[in-house]
Amino acid sequence: MKQQNPFAVASAIKNDAFNDVPNVWPEIRKKINRKIADKLLKELDCLPSPEGRVLTEIIYEMTESIQKFEKRGA
Amino acid sequence: METNRKEELLVLYASNGDENVYHEALKLFQEALQDNPNDPWLIHSLGYLKECRGIRFLREAADIYETGINTNPDFHKLQYQLIHVRSKIGESHKSIDYYKQKIAADPDDISNYSFLTQSYLYANQLLEAKKVVEAALQVAPRDPSIITCAVELYQRLKDIDKVLKYQQLSLEIDPRNLGVRYIAAFSLEEAGRLEEAAEEWKLLIKSLHEEGYHIEAEWPEGILASIEQRIQDAQV
């Protein structure tokens, strides 16, 4: 009986194992990214920090809307 | 009577943006200022007239970019430009809301993290920008646009160690990203680390010449010269 190269045998077994196991990593990665996004969006779902300009923008827009509404009513 | 007419036209233009109204108002204010060049109210009104016109043009630019994005969503320059223009007209919150929705809809698309970070940076919302960058680095630790965002963010937060860390990573991934060299050079100078700042400028200047940007290298060469002078003066 011809002796087989043990490294070749091991390599063939490894290749078979990889080919037979489904590649679940993309699905796992998607789930992780979803969790990261959800966590981030939850953290950002609050009043903006006062150091920046967004709060001022929002207040200005609300003030303008109220003024327009009042003018229409007058 | 003419005083009322000018003010009426100004109010009318501010509300409807009619070009004919603008030109008529402009003519009347300029004539009035010729007679009273130091009148603060006339100066204020003329400035406000121009300011309203400028804002209208910026809004038109924003509309153009938005239309372009709808038809060319992968042309990222349009998105960066819209974020920039919106910050000029006090509408950064629109960009922020938009990109939050995009991330919620597709958490795998790392570009939206980059756009959201830029939206927060333009609005000076540094705490929020930091949260976005930290999350984005978990999603894509070696994405070039996110790493560049990190460099910009930590420069604004004056965290020189993080600026240098992410600058190094950025150049590892893309040695031609000269933007991060500029940021690092300025950060080092701001932190008083002049010798390191000088080294950074030298590397930047060398890269610019290697890429054929000889004219663009002149301004950094001037900055390098002034830093080297300061180093020399400190040693005296």
Q: pLDDT band for B122, please (50, 70, 90 cuts).
A: very high
Q: pLDDT band for A2, please (50, 70, 90 cuts).
A: low
Task: Kindly determine whether residue A37 and residue B135, on different chains, have CB atoms separated by under 8 Å.
Answer: yes
Which among B112, B154, B172, B170 is positioned nearest to A33, based on CA atoms? B112
Partner residue opposite A58 with nearest CB, options B93, B138, B139: B93
Task: Kindly determine whether residue A53 and residue B125, on different chains, have CB atoms separated by under 8 Å.
Answer: yes
Please name the helix (run of DSSP H) or strand (run of DSSP E) that holds residue A3, with its range, or none: none
B79 contacts B115 by C-beta, under 8 angstroms: yes
Which among B189, B111, B123 is positioned nearest to A54, based on CA atoms? B123
The structure tokens listed for A60 are 């200005």
What average pLDDT does chain A have?
86
pLDDT tens-digit profile of B10-58?
999 999 999 999 999 999 999 999 999 999 999 999 999 999 999 999 9
Sign of CA dihedral A50, A53, A56, A58: negative
- pTM of the predicted protein model: 0.84
Q: Which of residues 84-123 of B touch A (CB under 8 A)?
A: 90-93, 96, 100, 103-104, 107-108, 120, 123
Composition of chain B by helix, strand, coil, percent to 5: 80, 0, 20
Distance CA B54, CA B148 (A): 31
Whether complex ipTM tops 0.90: no
Spell B105-142 as b/e; 16+ CB within 10 A means b.
Answer: eebebbbbbbbbbbbbbbbbbbebbbbbbebbbebbee
CA distances from B45 to B7, B18, B39, B225 (A): 8, 17, 10, 45
Which among B9, B52, B1 is positioned nearest to B27, based on CA atoms? B9
